[in-house]
Amino acid sequence: MRNFKYRAVSENGQVIEGYHEAQTEEEVVNMLKNNKYFPVNIEEEISADISTSLFLKKVTKKDIAVFCRQFYTMLDAGIGVVEALDILKRQTENKTLKQTIDIVYEDVQKGLSLSEAMKKHEKVFPNLLINMVEAGEVSGNLDVIMERMAIHYEKEFNIENKIKNAFMYPAILSIVAISVVIFLLVVVMPTFISMFDESGTALPTPTRILLTISNWLKNYWYLFIGIALIFIFGIMILRKTEEGRRFFDNLKIMFPGIKNMNIKIITSRFTRTLSTLLSSGIPLLQALDVVSKVVDNKVVGDKLQLAKEDIRKGVPMSKTIRDIEIFPPMVDSMIGIGEESGALDDILYKTADFYDEEVENSMERMTTLLEPILIVFMGIVIGFIVISIAMPMFDIYDTI
């Protein structure tokens, strides 16, 4: 939908101005004529999409969590939506979110609801938040919704932060290992090889292999960099396509080693989001539609859409979740208990808490396992290089 600003004259000559959402300008004209107004001027309001600017900071889950928490605090204190937005736009630190709130503030002043104004900035505000705000406006408990969203995004941010921290040390160790190997091959290796050439010593097979690799790196370094860049950009482009995203998302839940942890992360996100939606009064089918888009996995999202259709036909949710064959058996059992007891949202929330802890434990185990594996691998590679350099030196000693 597009937003149009209009100016019209009534039958008694009174000039009115306002805003109307429509697909085309003709729809606005018809609306005015049906209300017995003569349109004088109609122009489309175009909001700049600031979220895609390269010079503005990305809006993180932490920023959204702080936004919801501050919004809740002000609403709970009795401050109106417009005034709360005015305060938020002045104190928000993230420039992208700050400018977006400013535009939302102006739209709300013009008569749009908060959810309608936020829908224009889906690249900044998550789809889940927009749906929850809309539900809060309908039910009249927007402050409660904002508190729930603050808790939800705080937990989401904590999980993401733990994942980043867990892989930080292995990533740094890998970069150091690769840098050391390249230094040995490009700088150290040729120095010793020139000494061996002068002595006329025949080089062993491992040394010749390393010498060949060293020459490739020195003479064709640009090819290696080019191939690496093509590979990285190729993956980035592929991930933006429908089939590419589905391929990589399928790997996340099928590849040994990372499968269990990714499934636990998806399970935690699925149960917590569904619990939040249901506790806010959103119907189950609509809630599943939203959840399928926020689990951050195309394969699981598609299967949840199929489950939604089965539920629409009357199949119990616990059975449809079991038939997906993605989530751990505990999930469909807990959903079954929730359906029987009528406390599905509460059961899902407790399940989410359990899998939050499971995710943290899985990351700690993976980090603990990765560190010695990387150290041993680095030791083997560097040891092979050192031995390959040392072998000709022993041959020279034997010759002398």
pLDDT tens, N- to C-terminus, the chain (400 residues): 566 777 888 777 777 777 677 778 888 888 888 877 888 788 776 554 454 444 456 888 899 999 999 999 999 989 999 999 989 988 888 888 988 998 898 888 888 889 989 988 888 898 889 888 988 888 888 888 999 889 889 988 888 888 888 778 888 888 888 888 888 888 877 777 766 666 666 777 888 888 888 888 888 888 988 998 999 999 889 888 888 888 999 988 888 878 888 899 899 889 988 998 888 888 888 888 888 888 888 899 899 988 888 898 889 999 999 988 889 999 999 999 998 888 898 999 899 989 988 888 888 888 788 888 888 888 888 888 888 877 777 766 655 5
Residues 24 and 68 in one domain: no
Residues 198 and 253 in one domain: yes
Residues 340 and 289 in one domain: yes
Residues 24 and 128 in one domain: no
Q: What is the domain extent for residue 290?
A: 168-399
Residues 151 and 248 in one domain: no
Q: How are the residues of the chain apportioned to helix, strand and coil, as percentages rounded to the nearest 5?
A: 75, 5, 20
What distance in Å separates the CA atoms of residue 8 and residue 10, rounded to the nearest whole number?
7
Are 149 and 125 contacting, i.e. CB atoms less than 8 angstroms apart?
no
Q: Which residue has the tokens 């002000």?
A: 74
Residues 263 and 353 in one domain: yes
CATH code, domain with 68: 1.20.81.30
Are 157 and 303 contacting, i.e. CB atoms less than 8 angstroms apart?
no
State the DSSP H helix or E strand holding residue 18, giving kind and residue range, or none if neither.
Answer: strand 15-22
> Per the domain annotation, does 49 fall within a domain?
no
Single residue among 102, 123, 155 that ends a domain in this structure:
155
> Per the domain annotation, does 34 fall within a domain?
yes
Residues 149 and 13 in one domain: no
Residues 188 and 230 in one domain: yes
What distance in Å separates the CA atoms of residue 226 and residue 180, rounded to the nearest whole number?
21
Q: Which amino acid is at 359?
A: V
> Per the domain annotation, does 88 fall within a domain?
yes
Give me the number of domains the chain comprises: 3
